[in-house]
Amino acid sequence: AQSVAQPEDQVNVAEGNPLTVKCTYSVSGNPYLFWYVQYPNRGLQFLLKYITGDNLVKGSYGFEAEFNKSQTSFHLKKPSALVSDSALYFCAVRDRGKSWGKLQFGAGTQVVVTP
Amino acid sequence: EAGVTQSPTHLIKTRGQQATLRCSPISGHTSVYWYQQALGLGLQFLLWYDEGEERNRGNFPPRFSGRQFPNYSSELNVNALELEDSALYLCASSPAVAAAEAFFGQGTRLTVV
């Protein structure tokens, strides 16, 4: 069975500092990995995905994520955080088998960026 | 291009009633997914539809059901509502390709009183 862990409920960072949101996964075979962001009372917005190839994936709004197969991790990063990055971030995994439609989400990490 | 649209935005029902939630996917997307986001419980996978068929189902009781229509829009029905069903219900759509990201609607806030 596939699963996703986001070990931090909340990450606090000062504006202009680097932001990292951690994600580890468990899935048989090679996964597809995704990051989404959710603003209050809104749906989820897609940020980026890892399918194959280069371990460093670049996405929307200056975010990037690094896929590490040996550590089964897919951490989200931004070199310089903005106050507007304050939101709830979700990591998600999907396997490549028959049940590929089941996108499994982590519990979410609340990011708070202070001015 | 229009995104995923869900209706209604808010829904208030009494315990024991039935609720029907609707979702229109992005044009060209054949897969539709439903998720429940209850306070403190994260995003729980409910259902996956593709080409009118139910492809996968999460760990929810049978009173949660749905369908997908020939135009790929979808309905989620929740029977015999319980207070614990109060949540934000999110619909998403994608092409029927595992590598494709899903795009989410704004959700329907269901409140059971």
- Yes or no: say if A61 and A87 are a contact pair by the CB < 8 Å rule: no
Question: Chain B contacts of A102, Cβ < 8 Å?
Answer: 45, 48, 56, 58
- Mean pLDDT, residues A96-103 taken together: 79
| CB proximity under 8 Å: A 2-41 to B | 32, 34, 36, 41
CB burial of B60-70 (b: ≥16 within 10 Å; e: otherwise) equals beeebbbebee
pLDDT for the residue A61: 92
Distance between CA atoms of B101 and A63, rounded to whole angstroms?
A: 16
Of all residues in chain A, the one with the smallest CA distance to B43 is: A105
Radius of gyration of chain B (CA): 13
Considering the domain boundaries, does residue B109 fall inside one?
no
Cβ neighbours of residue A95 closer than 8 Å, sequence gap 6 or more = A2, A27, A28, A29, A31, A32
Beta carbons of B101 and A106 less than 8 Å apart: no
DSSP string computed for A40-56: TTS-EEEEEEE-SS-SE
Considering the domain boundaries, does residue B105 fall inside one?
no
Considering the domain boundaries, does residue B106 fall inside one?
no
Considering the domain boundaries, does residue B75 fall inside one?
yes
- CATH number, domain at B16? 2.60.40.10
pLDDT for the residue A20: 98
**CA-CA-CA-CA torsion sign (B92, B94, B96, B98):** negative
CATH class of the structural domain A3-114: mainly beta
Considering the domain boundaries, does residue B111 fall inside one?
no
Pairwise pLDDT comparison (A52 vs B33), residue with the higher score: B33
Question: Chain A contacts of B45, Cβ < 8 Å?
Answer: 102-105
Distance between CA atoms of A65 and A82, rounded to whole angstroms?
A: 17
Average pLDDT, rounded, for chain A? 93
In 3D space, the residue among A78, A18, A80, A81 whose CA is nearest the CA of residue A47 turns out to be A78
pLDDT for the residue A40: 84
Considering the domain boundaries, does residue B53 fall inside one?
yes
Question: Can you read off the two tokens belonging to residue B20?
Answer: 């029907």
Nearest to A102 among B48, B90, B107 (CB): B48
Beta carbons of A108 and B43 less than 8 Å apart: yes
Beta carbons of B106 and A96 less than 8 Å apart: no
Distance between CA atoms of A63 and A47, rounded to whole angstroms?
A: 7
Tens-digit pLDDT profile for residues A14-46: 999 999 999 999 988 888 999 999 998 778 999
Average pLDDT, rounded, for chain B? 95
Tens-digit pLDDT profile for residues B28-77: 999 999 999 998 778 999 999 999 999 999 999 999 999 999 999 999 99
Distance between CA atoms of A97 and A86, rounded to whole angstroms?
A: 35
Distance between CA atoms of B31 and B87, rounded to whole angstroms?
A: 23
pLDDT for the residue B42: 87
Total tally of structural domains belonging to chain B:
1
Considering the domain boundaries, does residue B21 fall inside one?
yes
Domain hosting B24: range is 5-99
- Yes or no: say if B36 and B97 are a contact pair by the CB < 8 Å rule: no
